[in-house]
C-alpha cells in the first residue's frame, strides 16, 4: 500500500494573498465612495443651506436690510432647489417690505425669526397680528 501526502501550503498562501488584495481594494473603494459622498453633501447641501440660513438670519434681525442674494449663492441658472429657495425668500421679503414698510418690520421680523415661541402646529403659521411700529 502506498501513501500520498498532499501539500496545499502554496495554494493556501496564494489564496490568502488574493483575499487580502481583494479586501484591500474593497476597503479602498468604500473609503473613496464615502469621501466623495461627504464632499458632495458639503458642496451641494450644507454650504447652500448655510447661505440660506444666513440670509434668513439677516432678514430676521433687520427686515429692511438689503441683501445681495446673487453674491451669496453660487452660479448657475437657478436649477438648484436651495438657490430657488434663496431667491424665493428674497422676493417674499421684498414684497413684505413694500407692503408693510417700516411700520411692519416687527411683523416681518417676528414671523421670520426662529426665536419666537413655537409650541404646536397652529403657532407655526404666519401671524399678521404682531404689533407694528408707529411711523411719522
Look-up: residue for cell 502554496?
10
How far apart (Å, rounded) are the C-alpha atoms in residues 23 and 13? 15
- Residue 86: half-sphere exposure toward Cβ, Cα within 13 Å: 25
Q: Taking CA 104 as the corner, what is the angle to CA 103 and CA 107, rounded to the nearest 5 degrees?
A: 145
Q: Which residue has the higher pLDDT, 119 or 100?
A: 100
Average pLDDT on 10-16 reads 92
Provide the pLDDT confidence category of residue 78 given band limits of 50, 70 and 90: very low
What is the predicted pLDDT for the residue at 125? 60
What's this model's pTM, rounded to 2 decimal places?
0.57
Provide the pLDDT confidence category of residue 56 given band limits of 50, 70 and 90: confident
Amino acid at each position: 500500500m502506498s501513501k500520498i501526502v498532499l501539500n496545499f501550503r502554496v495554494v493556501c498562501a496564494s489564496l490568502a494573498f488574493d483575499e487580502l488584495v481583494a479586501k484591500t481594494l474593497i476597503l479602498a473603494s468604500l473609503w473613496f465612495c464615502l469621501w466623495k459622498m461627504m464632499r458632495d453633501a458639503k458642496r451641494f447641501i450644507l454650504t447652500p443651506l448655510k447661505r440660506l440660513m444666513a440670509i434668513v438670519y439677516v432678514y430676521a434681525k433687520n427686515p429692511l436690510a438689503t441683501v445681495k442674494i446673487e453674491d451669496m449663492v453660487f452660479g448657475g441658472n437657478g436649477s438648484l432647489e436651495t438657490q430657488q429657495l434663496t431667491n424665493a425668500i428674497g422676493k417674499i421679503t421684498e414684497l413684505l417690505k413694500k407692503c408693510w414698510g417700516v411700520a411692519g418690520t416687527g411683523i416681518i421680523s417676528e414671523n421670520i425669526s426662529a426665536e419666537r415661541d413655537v409650541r404646536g402646529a397652529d403657532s407655526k403659521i404666519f401671524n399678521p397680528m404682531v404689533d407694528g411700529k408707529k411711523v411719522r
